[in-house]
Amino acid sequence: MKEKSALIIVDVQKAFDDPKWGERNNLEAEENIRKILKVWRGKGRKVIHIQHKSDNPDSVFHPNNKGFAIKELVSPLEGEVEIPKKVNSSFIGTNLEELLKINKIETVVITGLTTPHCVSTTTRMSGNLGFETYLISDATAAFGMEDQNGKYYKPDIIHDVSLATLHEEFATILTTKQLLKLIE
């Protein structure tokens, strides 16, 4: 991992505490992100917080709703970058790519919510844009979901398959423990 690296924390917002999402895997994801964040900050490396911002007033991600807030466990500190986004990718409609290039950052470490949606999309784009990309498997989580035929998939299956489709194609998949060992 290169010295010039950024930690990207995607959508760790209170909206994901809403019961509407159903069952979730990896309830330790936010705590693992907190652990990474503490070490990352201690090394003085760049931290970027991504926050989903919906235009729909009924959405749990609308700025007027309590779900819009970033969870306190990983709240941005003064001076850390906060980027709002409106779609799944943290790169579309934002200045993320420009910010990384201006700061000569070649390596990104991605954490956040949820594995098959914004985390996966951001990871794919990061890899496609040429960044050395790491996705931290236990610092993200998934919810169970139904497919187009009504078949339900448990959160662990959604999570694991999402990671499998990214590994060695778009990113290197590591655990929190592996990442911390790598950067310490």
Q: What are the average pLDDT values for consecutive 10-residue runs of the chain, which has 184 residues?
A: 91 97 98 98 97 97 97 97 98 98 97 98 98 98 98 98 98 98 92
Q: Which of 33, 36, 6 is nearest to 108 (CA)?
A: 6
CA 73 vs. chain centroid, Å, equals: 14
Residues 6+ apart with CB under 8 A from 29: 111, 113, 138, 139, 140, 141
Model pTM score: 0.97
**5-183 CATH:** 3.40.50.850
Considering only CA atoms, which of 93, 111, 114 is closest in space to residue 24?
A: 114
User: How much is the pLDDT for 102?
Assistant: 97
- State the sign of the Cα–Cα–Cα–Cα dihedral 85, 110, 7, 64: positive
3-state secondary structure of 134: strand
Contacts of 181 (CB under 8 A, 6+ apart): none
What's the pLDDT at 98?
A: 98
Both structure tokens of 72: 């306190």
Task: Report the pLDDT value the prediction gives residue 8, as an integer from 0 to 100.
Answer: 98
Position 3 scores a pLDDT of 76
Cα 147-20-121 angle, rounded to 5 deg: 55
In 3D, which of 141, 133, 136 has the Cα closest to residue 175? 136
Structural domain spans, the chain: 5-183
Contact between residue 11 and residue 143 where contact means Cβ atoms under 8 Å apart: no
